[in-house]
Amino acid sequence: MSHRDDASPIPRPGGRTARVRADVLAAVERELAASGYDNLTIEAVAASSGVHRTTIYRRWGSVAGLLVDLLASGADDDWRPADTGALEGDLIRLNREVRDALVQQPSLTGAVIAASFRTAEAAEALTSFWQDRYVRSEIVVRRAIDRGEIPSDTDAQRLLIACTAPVYHQLVLLRQPMTRAAADRAAKDAAAAARARVYRR
Amino acid sequence: MSHRDDASPIPRPGGRTARVRADVLAAVERELAASGYDNLTIEAVAASSGVHRTTIYRRWGSVAGLLVDLLASGADDDWRPADTGALEGDLIRLNREVRDALVQQPSLTGAVIAASFRTAEAAEALTSFWQDRYVRSEIVVRRAIDRGEIPSDTDAQRLLIACTAPVYHQLVLLRQPMTRAAADRAAKDAAAAARARVYRR
DNA sequence: CTGTTAATGCAATCGATGTTGCATTAAGAT
DNA sequence: ATCTTAATGCAACATCGATTGCATTAACAG
């Protein structure tokens, strides 16, 4: 036989498929910036990208699929929490990142959260993303323990959630504005509570 | 003139309109229980209530409108936080209520949260509902201050959000199971932090 | 009882979203 | 250059949610 005789898909890394994907994801970002998540429709992405509707439906299936792919394509695998040398500083940096991601216009995070209430696909992408972030953030607690700032039996998950949950709650659920100072406040509160031995197992 | 000559709407409290509303809202609850929010469609409500689609569209406009009305009709205007005689106990009761409302199947609260990401109407209904609940909950902090449990300059909002936010975060955003004990844990942490003078202004 | 009118029921229709069959294009193999 | 084939483009169609015009019903006034 002269052609490929295995059943695996043929990779064409620099080919049309890759260009189409890049064009479409770029269009998703553009449209999101221009008209927000509510107006992010397959039609609009097709028009803006120059790729036909049918292709987008076939490859991504839905708006949620587009967002998931965008999230995946932009996944920062090298992300690490900042190291300021003190627990409070580290937590403040963490909360600022969270706040900025949610306040930013347009907010990709906000869009994915909204999408996660519509399709299981987006919900899973989001939970695994957050899961990963919380695990990576544990190093902040580890360092604080090593420095002797907080008890060695501090529950990292509880502390981290106590720190960031108020930010998400305020911005996503209560939908009220939150200043950077208020986000800092939440981080300082969590650090103070941890020093006061609140989050021990 | 023999008929009413003012332009105000004619009230017919026991009439067809009131029956239709009751039938429709009952059907919404039934359908929500039977098939969950994702399958809560105007069609299904119409079929289950025996009221015509058109009527529902005209009076409620959307699924979100139905949920908002259901939320309003069931609004417990007499709600007060429990008084257990201690801050920690009060906060635990608060968190258990929040958790139970979210874990319950079907969860009306969960449905409204999902709806709030689709229409501004539902979002407003939800924020005003929560706003009201947080204001009413401040009495818990007030009593703790009066008992001398916590500093008199404790920031009630910050404390209350520190207490409940982890529950919402875990169940709504992270979508992970949360035991009653874990909800209690969050309440105890918040109480301990308050006693450690963390939430002072 | 009779008249008036808002609310409801009904059918037809619209519009946007999503799908399918088939022709065309272009990446990569030879 | 030529061939093969997956990916894409295209148009027609299906589907569902939502709206509109008009007939009918029933609550209330007299």
Pick the range with the lowest mean pLDDT from B7-16, B88-97, B127-136.
B7-16
In a domain, A170, yes or no: yes
Quick one: A143 and A189 in the same domain?
yes
The predicted-structure confidence for B33-60, as pLDDT tens digits, reads as follows: 888 787 899 999 999 999 999 999 999 9
Are residues A182 and A96 part of one domain? yes
Please name the residue whose C-alpha is nearest to the C1' of nucleotide C25: A16
The answer to the question of residue A3 being in a domain is: no
Residues of chain A with pLDDT under 70: 1-14
For residues A31 and A92, membership in a common domain is answered with: no
Q: Does residue B77 register a pLDDT over 50? A: yes
Same-domain status, A184 and A102: yes
B174/A173 Cβ within 8 A: no
A41 CA from D16 C1′ (Å)? 17
Q: Are residues A54 and A107 in the same domain?
A: no
Average pLDDT of the residues in B116-123: 85
Whole-number Å distance between alpha carbons of A147 and A138? 14
What is the 3-state secondary structure of chain A?
Answer: CCCCCCCCCCCCCCCHHHHHHHHHHHHHHHHHHHHCHHHCCHHHHHHHHCCCHHHHHHHHCCHHHHHHHHHHHCCCCCCCCCCCCCHHHHHHHHHHHHHHHHHCCCCHHHHHHHHHCCCHHHHHHHHHHHHHHHHHHHHHHHHHHHHCCCCCCECHHHHHHHHHHHHHHHHHHCCCCCCHHHHHHHHHHHHHHHHCCCCEC
Chain B residues at the A interface, defined by Cβ less than 8 Å, are: 113-114, 116-118, 123, 127, 130-131, 158, 161-162, 164-166, 168-170, 172-176, 185-186, 189, 192-193, 196, 198-199
Total domain count for chain A? 2
Q: Which domain, by its residues, includes B151?
A: 87-195
Tell me the CATH number at B54. 1.10.10.60
Q: Tell me, yes or no, whether A155 lies in a domain.
A: yes
Q: Which of residues 59-78 of A touch strand D (CB under 7 A)?
A: 59
Tens-place pLDDT, residues A141-151: 999 999 999 99
CB-based burial of residue A101 (10 Å sphere; 0-12 exposed, 13-18 middle, 19+ buried)? middle
pLDDT at A75: 77
Q: Is the CB of B52 under 7 A from strand C?
A: yes
User: Is residue B201 assigned to a domain?
Assistant: no
Tell me the pLDDT of chain B averaged across its residues.
Answer: 89
Q: Are residues B166 and B93 located together in one domain of the fold?
A: yes
Residue B144 lies in a domain: yes
In this predicted structure, what is the pLDDT of residue B14?
59
